[in-house]
Structure formats: structure tokens, C-alpha cells
Amino acid sequence: PPDGAPAARAATILVVEDERGVRRSLRLLLELDGHTVLEAGDGVEALEVAASHPGPIDLLVSDVAMPRMGAAELV
């Protein structure tokens, strides 16, 4: 970070995306930046992942249209 700028902290990010390749790419990029990534293939699975995760989830990154439950319903 530039001088005087606060250093970014690692976050726990839940990535919800029904396309496995897109989800995997997002995970790899975010992990390379030092974040912990949880992933799910749709909204229903995302709720299960969130419920079983012991700590806070700092950010949700989600596809809009997915099978079973889309982003609007998930949020």
C-alpha cells in the first residue's frame, strides 16, 4: 500500500457461483491476495456453508441468477 494508507486485512469471503470454473478462478485470485474463501454453487448451498462456518463472513460475492436460489433471495 502507498505510504500512509492502511494495509488491507485478510477477509473471509463467500463466493457463490454456479459455474465451477468461474468459482475456482475467483477462489484462486482471492486466496493469492491472502483471503480465506468459502465457496458454494448456489444460494441454498451458500446458506449451508455460512451456517457451518464458525466465524464471521466479511464479504459475499455472488452470481445473480443460479439454480435453486438466486442472489436476491440469498441476500
Distance between CA atoms of 64 and 55, rounded to whole angstroms?
25
Q: Give the amino acid at 18.
A: D
Rounded to whole angstroms, the Cα distance separating 51 from 57 reads 10
Q: What pTM does this model have? A: 0.84
d(CA 45, CA 16) in angstroms, rounded, equals: 9
**11-63: pLDDT as tens digits:** 999 999 999 999 999 999 999 999 999 999 999 999 999 999 999 999 999 88
The band of 5, judged by pLDDT with boundaries at 50, 70 and 90, is low
Q: What is the mean pLDDT of residues 5-14?
A: 82
